[in-house]
Structure 1
């Protein structure tokens, strides 16, 4: 009889241990399903219909997706984002890496102060950052324009046809450079100190140690930040949306794909086509990320 009770007790313990992880995961899965899976499923369902005056909401299958794939306005926005990424990502990550190496060198006074100072812009909401830089870029009221007027010089035009994209890229660099610097700095702090001592014994200086030892060791971290930067670049929306009032002729309704989807949904009430545009953009983000990771892994395996 004791053996029977012992077996039952062990069975209850086993069941409780096997069920416990799912009980802890249930709140997360509930919120994940309610706020991500369900909205995505509903948006995909919407993308399969088209609103018409005569027949109302009519099922059209993949017609909206075919339209999106042949939409010139959409692809112009995608091309602009690739230009934006080629302009912004190398500068942002390059500066983040340089500053992280400088802080990690141990030759900087007030290292914690500079580390926090570089990170502060990331804590500023993107809306505030865009409004702040919009004020700085202002051709009539901005401080750069006022300084130029004081010096009796022509005011710099940061929002012309040739400078609008670099100006938006500058906002993104200012926002996210410190965030990536903290990631690089944390990775550099994990590099064993013994390697630096060994390289110093071999006669390697600080620059040689950084290029030959530190950078190869944190390369996986660099690859991850590049991938996340690509994803963030292809989702650009806030900065051009808020800057558009300063450059209405240059930032149109399809300046970026996200801006185009927003305009279609909330200005033109084309919710079905807007949903299709969003899913096509998501597919482009997935393809771009996978392609980059594939190329990075192939190069690392050589």
Structure 2
């Protein structure tokens, strides 16, 4: 009887004992809501980017690709409104048969093959000079090198048009006593006159990127090389340049894309070029001329061709640089 009474007395106490925290259906639902909230938080940050990316990047690409599949037909007298006819290859056949557009592609390709290595070579050399132990006033020279990039491209091209003008060029005025004259707008030099403006504007920008990458080289490695008797040139060639290979590849890809987008400088120089810069001097200028003529599908086809070519070149360049790093 005593044991039975004791069991009856302790049973309510056991039933009234509080539950441990974190147990039961309410706690499980709370944990589920917390996990779902943690999963939704990154999406809240990602959604604005996704919306802007789709609206400002993907949508124009899709619209241009679809528009390029139609060909504009006009009547002989032009008395009726033009009509669009579905012809998937009509504009692309026209583009590759258009001598002005294909010449602009070749011109930009030559521009990139020559100008990009020269610009990146200058940027790398300036970055290595700034990173040397004997360099002084590094902040001033970084700012001075970066300053041309901060000047709007149109404004810079206007200044350079004054420098190139046959009537007002101070360069030719200085060379005149020596009997020299630089034909900045002749057929053989006008492309390099444009390349000079681009190199002046973007060398400092690329220099800053490469110089920032040089700061990640461990000081212990450099000091060990100096203790071993390595010269500054040897350290730069064997340690610093391999360490910034990724930054050089990045700036090279950006420069390739920028070369394909060449537009501001030749457009500003066109009125003073005496016809050396045509309306189809670059692919984007050719597409802009098609837009001005009201042939939007043909301009879209030119843009798609240019985008595909740039994408292929960038992909091949990345593959080659990655193979070099793995080797």
- TM-score by structure 1 length? 0.94
2:150 pairs with 1:123: yes
Distance 2:167 2:264 in 1: 23
Q: Which residue of 2 aligns with 1:104?
A: 131
Structure 1 residue ranges without an equivalent (≥5): none
Q: Which residue of 2 aligns with 1:163?
A: 189
1:152-186 Cα deviation digits (max 9, x unpaired): 84543222122111111110100100011001101
Q: Which residue of 2 aligns with 1:74?
A: 101
Q: Secondary structure at the match of 1:288?
A: helix
Alpha carbons of structure 1 residues 152 and 216: separation in structure 2 relative to 1, 3 Å: closer
2:112 pairs with 1:85: yes
Q: Is the 8 A contact 1:87 1:166 kept in 2?
A: no
2:297 pairs with 1:272: yes
1:32-91 Cα deviation digits (max 9, x unpaired): 222222222222221111222357122222321232233332221111112111221121
Given the alignment, which residue of 247, 262, 285 partners 2:310? 285
Q: Secondary structure at the match of 2:187?
A: coil
CA-CA distance at 1:117 after TM superposition? 0.4
2:281 pairs with 1:255: yes
Distance 1:225 1:192 in 2: 22
Distance 1:174 1:105 in 2: 23
Alpha carbons of structure 1 residues 86 and 153: separation in structure 2 relative to 1, 3 Å: same
Q: Which residue of 2 aligns with 1:45?
A: 66
Alignment of 1:13-32 (within 5 A): 13-32=34-53
Q: Is the 8 A contact 1:191 1:214 kept in 2?
A: yes
1:231-288 Cα deviation digits (max 9, x unpaired): 111221111111111114211122111110011112x111110000000000000111
Given the alignment, which residue of 210, 228, 244 partners 2:236? 210
Q: Which residue of 1 aligns with 2:249?
A: 223
Q: Secondary structure at the match of 2:113?
A: helix
Q: Secondary structure at the match of 1:58?
A: strand
Q: Which residue of 1 aligns with 2:12?
A: none
Q: Secondary structure at the match of 1:28?
A: helix
Q: Secondary structure at the match of 1:5?
A: helix
Q: Which residue of 2 aligns with 1:295?
A: 320
Q: Is the 8 A contact 2:185 2:274 kept in 1?
A: no
Distance 2:55 2:326 in 1: 40
CA-CA distance at 1:216 after TM superposition? 1.2
The number of residues matched between the two structures is: 300
Give the structure with higher Rg (CA).
2
Alignment of 1:47-62 (within 5 A): 47-53=68-74, 56-62=83-89
Alpha carbons of structure 1 residues 36 and 123: separation in structure 2 relative to 1, 3 Å: same
Report the RMSD for the aligned CA atoms in angstroms. Answer: 1.7
Alignment of 1:224-243 (within 5 A): 224-243=250-269
CA-CA distance at 1:6 after TM superposition? 0.3
Structure 2 residue ranges without an equivalent (≥5): 1-18, 76-81
Alpha carbons of structure 1 residues 154 and 196: separation in structure 2 relative to 1, 3 Å: closer
Q: Is the 8 A contact 1:103 1:185 kept in 2?
A: yes
**Bigger mean CA offset, 230-239 vs 37-46:** 37-46
